[in-house]
Structure formats: structure tokens, C-alpha cells
Amino acid sequence: MSAVIHEHDHHHDDHHGPAKGLTRWLYTTNHKDIGSLYLWFAFTMFLIGGLFALVIRAELFIPGLQLVKPEFFNQMTTLHGLVMVFGAVMPAFTGLANWLIPMMIGAPDMALPRMNNWSFWILPVAFGMLLSSLFMDGGAPNFGWTFYAPLSTKFGPPSTDYFIFGVHLMGISSIMGAINVIVTVMNMRAPGMTYMKMPLFVWTWLITAFLLIMVMPVLAGAVTMMLTDRHFGTSFFDAAGGGDPVMFQHVFWFFGHPEVYIMILPSFGIASAIIPTFARKPLFGYASMVYATASIAGLSFIVWAHHMFTTGMPLAGELFFMICTMLIAVPTGVKVFNWVATMWQGSMTFEAPMLFAIAFVILFTIGGFSGIMLALAPADFQYHDTYFVVAHFHYVLFPGAIFGTIAAVYYWLPKWCGRMYSEKLAKIHFWWSIIAVNLTFFPMHFSGLAGMQRRVPDYAIQFADFNMLSSIGAFGLGIGQLFFFYILWKTIWGGKAPKATAQVWEGAEGLEWTLPSPAPYHSFTEPPVVK
């Protein structure tokens, strides 16, 4: 009930002067306001992280050092990874969870609205601290987003302590957000909304929330051990004091591997909402989708050392992690099969959300194939720490996390702001993005297989052509996302965007569809009723 009262209060505050307007956003406990804050924060971080990537790509445009010092290059690779993972992808998904989960399960708000507010507002502080390190003596952290010891403990710049505190704050935010999702979904579903009737977006986020609660404390442990190694005379990761730098990798990747599934599972839920809508038929194999998501989450905990095949583990360890990693392909393949089966013989139309969702399925699958190549321990000795790995995870994360989020924004924006975006501009944004994504990341497979190492500011001349293509693609991709901002601005504040109607989507054949009549526990992902 308190949630309903808070929501009422804040809509009441809307109409007073500018101070009230500011305090509305500062104190808001309304899940929609907080969802919007998360999404705009994530978009800001996405553009900043993209800027860091463009510095990297500009440096690698041609061989021979040209733009930045190697030291600064390393700071850029570190900050690009950290900002994209913790600042762009995760807050974007949390914003979608805040906006959509209460509406999808028929709840008045999130279960813990005050905590919801706090879990958002500590993020700008955390990233303010992280980004301020760029202006400190010794510069920003320069040890890669995986901050391997002893690079980060013994040799890290003084700003490493700001990085450690920033990571703690992000982790606290994630844990609070995850607790909020779990409590909301378990306690606030409308009457009749059983677990197996929940929209798949709710399911994927519920499972993601459990992953977050299980792995964020592991990350907190890793950075705490770093802190004590740096300042309190411990030797967790220092061999000279009886510690083990490889232990750092075990602790980090025990967090890091489930983390990459945290960054993809909500996108699976988004695709499972959008594809049935534009194929105009129910999702194929709902129950198998739920079980597949849960299997992926379970398996994600027993594959972490596939990031460490080259650290000299026993053969039995290599075999175990290799087989477990390949096993994840099974539930993932089930999901891809179900999406394709949903589209099969559907009355498909190709509006912007559907285009991004289909691109997500196709390109994510390509990323999955290179993942299976990397899972093979003997082959990984060749691929490890080359641009092939960079190509792999960007094919999973850009089409996966980013295209999934963009699809969700186009799909639900009319519901959020009551206005319809320009379908024509959105399609331009789509084709622009898909060409640029492939131009940026596909050549990286080739440079990696040819032996180009990752995280290097300079390289041998035989990799020049592929790098030039990647850099051209990257700048195109960056400009394309500014165009996305223009579309959003035009829709929300431009004043000319048409009002959204009950028939938000109009198909290519002029088939109009309307959402099913809203039941109290109405799912926004049911297939449309074709008139």
C-alpha cells in the first residue's frame, strides 16, 4: 500500500516550481520515475564508454603510435570495460525491470520503493568517483577491466582505491536492485498470476536477480582483498608473502562468468516478448524457455576457469571446464530454436523492435559459435588473449545486451511516454547500427586468428587492414547511437510525435492489432489480437 501512496504523492508534487521538480527526481519512490532515471543514466554511461572505445579505435586505426601514450591507452581499455559493464548494460536492464516488472505482474510498485531510490542514487556517485580518477596524479586505473593482480595491487596507480570504493558502491546498488526484484516478484503478483504465467521478461529478471545476489559479494571480496594487499600488509595475491596471483583470477572469474549471463538473460526475456508480438502467435515452448534460462544460470557457476586455460591447470580441470562450457550451448540452443519456431509460419512484420530482436537472435548466435570455439581447451591456447576473444564477447554483448535494450526501448516507448517514435528514423537507426556493428567486430575475428593480441596500443603491419575496417565501423557505430538519442528526443520532447493509440503497431500489410483487453494481471507480451 505504501507504494501506492508514494506514487500518488509524487504525481501530486509534479506541478510546483523548479525546486519541487528537482526534489521529485531526488526523492522519488515511483518505479516508473526510477526506471527512467536508470535508463537515462545508462544511456549517458553508454555514450561515455563509447567515447573511450573510440579513443582505442582511433589509436589502432593505423600501426605506429599516433594519438595517445600507451599508458593512457591502457586507462581507456580499463574504463571502457568498467563503464560499459557496470554503468551501461546493468543499469539499463535494472531500469527496464523497474518500469516493466510491476506492470507485468499487476503490482502497484516495486516492493521496497525507498531502497529502490537509494540503489539508483549511489550509482552516479560511484561513477563520479571512477571517472574522476582520470584527473588524478598517476591517472586512471590502467590494468584492464579484469584488474588482475599484481597489476592492480602492487603496480596500480593511487586512483586504484577510488576504483575499489566505486566497485563496492556499484555492487551494493546491484544487490539492492536484485533483492527488490525478488521480493516484488515473489510477493506482489496479482491474484491468478502463477509463476508459470509470468511473462518471460519477469522470469529472466527473477533468475538474473538470484545470480546478482550470489556473485556480487564475490566481487566485493576480490576488491577487499586487493585493498588489504595494497594498504594493510596482507599477501592474498602476492607470492612473496605466500599468496597466489592465480587465486585472484579464480575469485574474479567466479564472479565474472555469471556476470556475463547477468548481462544477457534480461535480453532473452525482451526477445521472448517482442518476437511473439510481431510474429502474431504465442511464444513456442514457454516452459522449456523457463527451464533453459534456469539451466543457463545454474551452469554459469561451474565454467569460470575457461577464462584461465593458459594458467597451467591440471588436464582434468581443463576437461571439466571445457565440457561444462560446451553444455551451456544446449539450453542456449533451446532458446534460439524456440525463437525461430515462434517466427516460423507467423504473420511477421518488421517494425523496429522486431528488426532489433531478429538481429539479436542471429548475431548472438554467431557470438555463441565463437564461444564454443573458445571453450575447446586446446584451441583456446591459440585464441587466448587475442582479438578473437574481443570479437567473441562483443558479438555476444553488443547485439545481445545493447540491441536487446534498444529493441525494448522502441517496443515500450509508446507505452512509457504516450507518443509514437518515427518508424522511418528507427529503421535507419537499425540498418546503420547493424552494418556498423558487423564492420567493427567481424574483422576482429580475422586479426585475432592471425595472432593480433588484445590490449595492445600498437601492432605489426600485417594487421593494419582489419584494424582500419574496425575503426571505421566503430566511429560509424558511435554516430549511429547519437542518432538514436535524436530519435528519442524528437519522440519524447519534440512535441510533434503522434500520440500512441491502442493500436500502437501497424503491420506492413495494414493489419492493425490491439493489445488484449487488460485483465488485472495482464501481460504486455501476449500475442496481439488481429482484426
Tell me the per-residue pLDDT of 477-512, one tens digit each, with 9 for 90 and over. 999 999 999 999 999 998 888 888 766 554 333 333
Q: Is 145 a catalytic residue?
A: yes
Number of folded domains that form the chain:
1
Report residue 517's pLDDT band, with 50, 70 and 90 as the boundaries.
very low
The answer to whether residue 132 is catalytic is no
Please state, in angstroms and rounded to a whole number, the distance separating the CA atoms of residues 279 and 357: 12
In this structure, what C-alpha cell is assigned to residue 284? 513456442
Q: Which one is catalytic: 160, 173, 184, 295?
A: 173
Catalytic annotation, pick one of 78, 94, 174, 525: 174
What tens digit of pLDDT does each residue of 360-412 get? 999 999 999 999 999 999 999 999 999 999 999 999 999 999 999 999 999 99
Q: Is 272 a catalytic residue?
A: yes
Residue 530 lies in a domain: no
pLDDT digits 0-9 by tens, 3-50: 444 444 444 444 455 557 889 999 999 999 999 999 999 999 999 999
Q: What is the pLDDT of residue 498?
A: 87
Q: Name the more confident of 11 and 121.
A: 121
Percent of the chain with pLDDT over 90: 88
Residue 494: predicted pLDDT: 85
Residue 149: is its pLDDT beyond 50? yes
Annotated catalytic residue, options 99, 203, 205, 261: 261
162: CATH? 1.20.210.10
Catalytic residue among 24, 281, 335, 392: 335
What's the pLDDT score for residue 519? Answer: 37
Active-site annotation holder among 454, 490, 506, 526: 454
**Of 332, 342, 386, 525, which residue is the catalytic one?**
332
C-alpha cell at 341: 519456431
Binned at pLDDT 50, 70 and 90, residue 153 comes out as very high
- Where b means 16+ CB within 10 Å and e means fewer, 161-197 reads bbbbbbbbbbbbbbbbbbbbbbebbeebbeeebeeee
Q: Is residue 453 part of a domain?
A: yes
Contact at 8 Å (CB) between 335 and 268? Answer: yes
Q: Catalytic annotation on 335?
A: yes
Does 257 qualify as catalytic in the annotation?
yes
Model confidence at 529: pLDDT above 60: no
Residue 219: its pLDDT value, please?
98
- Check pLDDT > 90 for residue 195: yes
Active site residue 385: no
Single out the catalytic residue among 32, 189, 306, 429: 306
Kindly state the average pLDDT of the residues 46-75.
Answer: 96
Residue 271 reports pLDDT greater than 50: yes
Has residue 149 been placed in a domain?
A: yes
174 as an active site residue: the answer is yes
Q: Is 154 a catalytic residue?
A: no
Q: Which residues of 420-445 are buried (b: 16+ CB within 10 A; e: fewer)?
A: bbbeebbeebbebbbebbbbbbbbbb
4 belongs to a structural domain: no
Query: What is the predicted pLDDT for the residue at 369?
Result: 97
Mean pLDDT along residues 259-281 = 96
173 is catalytic: yes
The yes-or-no answer on residue 307 being catalytic is yes
Q: Within a domain: residue 6?
A: no
Which residue among the candidates 257, 392, 445, 522 is catalytic per the annotation? 257
> 7, 109, 318, 351: which is the annotated catalytic residue?
109
| Predicted confidence (pLDDT) per residue in 459-483, tens digit | 999 999 999 999 999 999 999 999 9
Q: Could you write out the DSSP letters of every residue in 306-370?
A: GGGGGG---HHHHHHHHHHHHHTHHHHHHHHHHHHHHHTT------HHHHHHHHHHHHHHHHHHH
Contacting residues for 510 by C-beta, under 8 A, at least 6 apart:
none
Least confident of 25-29, 77-81, 415-419: 415-419
What pLDDT is recorded for position 96?
A: 98
Per-residue pLDDT tens digits for 124-139: 999 999 999 999 999 9
Catalytic one of 230, 281, 307, 394: 307
* Tens digits of residue pLDDT in 444-456: 999 999 999 999 9
pLDDT (average), residues 260-277: 96
Catalytic choice (78, 153, 208, 272): 272
Question: 174: closest CA among 287, 81, 274, 93?
Answer: 93
| pLDDT greater than 50 at residue 525 | no
Catalytic: 300?
Answer: no
Q: Which domain holds residue 315?
A: 35-514
Mean pLDDT along residues 164-177: 98
Can you tell me the mean pLDDT for 208-222? 98
Q: 204 or 528: whose pLDDT is higher?
A: 204
Query: Is position 399 within any domain?
Result: yes
Find the largest Cα–Cα distance for the chain: 74
Q: Is there a domain that residue 444 lies in?
A: yes
Number of alpha carbons in the 13 Å side-chain half-sphere of residue 523: 25
| Helix/strand/coil percentages in the chain, nearest 5 | 70, 0, 25
Name beta bridge partners: 530: 513
Q: State residue 504's pLDDT score.
A: 59
Give me the catalytic one of 31, 57, 80, 392.
80
User: At residue 144, does pLDDT exceed 70?
Assistant: yes
From start to end of 170-232, where are the E strands? Answer: none
Indicate the average pLDDT of the chain: 92
Catalytic residue among 145, 148, 416, 521: 145
- 3-state SS of 257-312 is HHHHHHCCHHHHHHHHHHHHHHHCCCCCCHHHHHHHHHHHHHHHHHCHHHHHHHHC
CA-based torsion, 218, 220, 223, 227: positive or negative = negative
Identify whether 27 is part of a domain: no
Considering 7, 33, 229, 259, which one is annotated as catalytic? Answer: 259
Q: What is the pLDDT of residue 520?
A: 38
Average pLDDT, integer, range 229-255: 97
Region 430-447: what's the mean pLDDT? Answer: 98
Query: Distance between CA atoms of 20 and 15, rounded to whole angstroms?
Result: 8
